[in-house]
Structure 1
Amino acid sequence: MSKQGLRDSSVPYIPLPQNLNQQNVIFSPVYYHRPNQTNHYLRRGAIFAGVLLLLSATLLFFYPSDPILKLARIRLNHVGVNSSPKLTIDLSFSLTISVRNRDFFSLDYEKLVVSVGYRGKEFGVVNSEGGRVRARGRSYVNATLDLNGFEVVHDVIYLIEDWAKGVIPFDTTTKVNGVLGLCFLKIPLKAKVACEVSVNTRNQTIIRQDCHAQ
């Protein structure tokens, strides 16, 4: 075949249109960023602080606390002063003491001690039997203190003056020692409440009482 024949049989050239939309594709490499170390440490610190705060709140909530003593009731049975042959005093009190357990475990106590005195001098002591106070519970203990013919050695003049006035101030102190039953642990607890009781010697009644925990 001649060159002229090859030229005639070739595909004619068609020019590309001028308004062809061109799309540019840009390839960018992918970078894997490491996590920020500062944020990681802050996150771990926040978690640790939260756990520590929760643990502290739990320990504070369950931490053993001493029981609360309260003189729920006091009644004067008898009071008298004898001047012959010696200056002696007869005194009888009936008391009801409230023992409140604030803990989440039971409280066992061996005895409850109640003492009465005058102007800082102790006259007598009475011990009640022991018992158990349930968790978050309250128990009432009755005690009677009797003094017959107790010789007054100190503050004789003050006692005579108070007797003449018709009002004698007495001091009462109530103490309890107990053990908190926490599984196999025995945690000692104690409480004390002091009261000032003013007694009317004429009508044999209590006219005022002021108590505070110690």
Structure 2
Amino acid sequence: MSPVNLATSSSPHYESLPLTKHPNNPIDYDNDPNHDYTVLAYAIPIPYRLNSNGILFSLFTILFLTTSLYYLWPSNPELTIVRLKLNKFNAHAFPAKLDVELDLKVRVLNKDVYDLVYRSVTVEVVYRGSKLGFVEAKGGKVKAKGVSYVNATLRFDGIEVLEDAVFLIEDLARGVVTIDTVSAVEGKVGFVYVYIPIKAKVSCEVDINTSDHTIRRENCFSE
């Protein structure tokens, strides 16, 4: 057997295979002119499409519900002092004491479409931020959109104001003592066994002339 001449034997021949367009083969389909593909579009069905009448009906329903809620939602009653009469007033510097007797008439306005049931009306007398005392009138009922009047008399004899003695002496020197009255009502309104608690308050700032024991000025405001 003659030896094989490796030097003269021909080199193996390799040919590149065509690329197979397979989903797993990372081929740039956008830049491949030989590739044809189809884009499928799917239409999603819309179960309901609003027309102009449906939109108007929805807006009207929202407006109706909002308006009804505004008028039906309970609100706090409105308190007004319609009469404030000073029957008695004395101020003593040593020791610092006050004698006060006031008659008040409180107007309770129920602005709601439900009846208002209140437990009581409380009236306090305050001097320089310190509560001197209070009186409580019995409760009652105010019909829807109705008005009720409550009378209260505050009578305090020899109420000590030791912590505010310096201020009392100053007030007596200038001839005017200022006291505050705070009237408050608490109750509930509602219907069909659903009740919502409500409350209201009105304060009056009263300047009393110490020489003739009369009211010089009064200023009332709701809180």
TM-score, structure 2 length as denominator? 0.75
Percent identity between matched residues is 38
Per the alignment, residue 89 of structure 2 pairs with 79
- Equivalent of 1:136 in 140, 145, 149: 145
The letter for the 2-side match of 1:77 is N
Instruction: For 1:41-56, list aligned pairs within 5 A.
Output: 41-56=51-66
Consecutive unaligned residues of structure 2, counting only runs of 5 or more, are: 1-46
- Note if 1:179 corresponds to 2:196: no
- Note if 1:102 corresponds to 2:111: yes
Instruction: For 1:1-214, list aligned pairs within 5 A.
Output: 40-83=50-93, 86-214=95-223
1:77-98 Cα distance to aligned partner (Å, 9 max, x none): 11112345x3221111111111
In structure 2, do the counterparts of structure 1 residues 151 and 118 end up closer, same or farther at CA, with 3 Å as the change threshold?
same
The letter for the 2-side match of 1:44 is G
The letter for the 1-side match of 2:57 is I
Residue aligned with 1:80, SS = strand
Moved more, 149-158 or 64-73: 149-158
CA contact (8 A) 2:202 2:220 kept: yes
Residue aligned with 2:163, SS = coil
Residue aligned with 1:154, SS = helix
CA contact (8 A) 2:93 2:165 kept: no
Consecutive unaligned residues of structure 1, counting only runs of 5 or more, are: 1-36
1:97-136 Cα distance to aligned partner (Å, 9 max, x none): 1110000111010111110111111111111110111110
**How far 1:40 moved relative to its partner?**
4.8
CA contact (8 A) 2:110 2:143 kept: yes
Question: In structure 1, what is the Cα distance between the partners aligned to 2:140 and 2:183?
Answer: 16
TM-score, structure 1 length as denominator? 0.78
Question: In structure 1, what is the Cα distance between the partners aligned to 2:50 and 2:76?
Answer: 44
Moved more, 176-185 or 94-103: 176-185
**How far 1:38 moved relative to its partner?**
10
Question: In structure 2, what is the Cα distance between the partners aligned to 1:149 and 1:101?
Answer: 37
Question: In structure 1, what is the Cα distance between the partners aligned to 2:110 and 2:215?
Answer: 29
Question: In structure 2, what is the Cα distance between the partners aligned to 1:129 and 1:153?
Answer: 32
> How many equivalent pairs are there?
177
- What is the root-mean-square deviation in Å for CA atoms of aligned residues? 1.7
Residue aligned with 1:130, SS = strand
Question: In structure 2, what is the Cα distance between the partners aligned to 1:108 and 1:94?
Answer: 24
**How far 1:165 moved relative to its partner?**
2.1
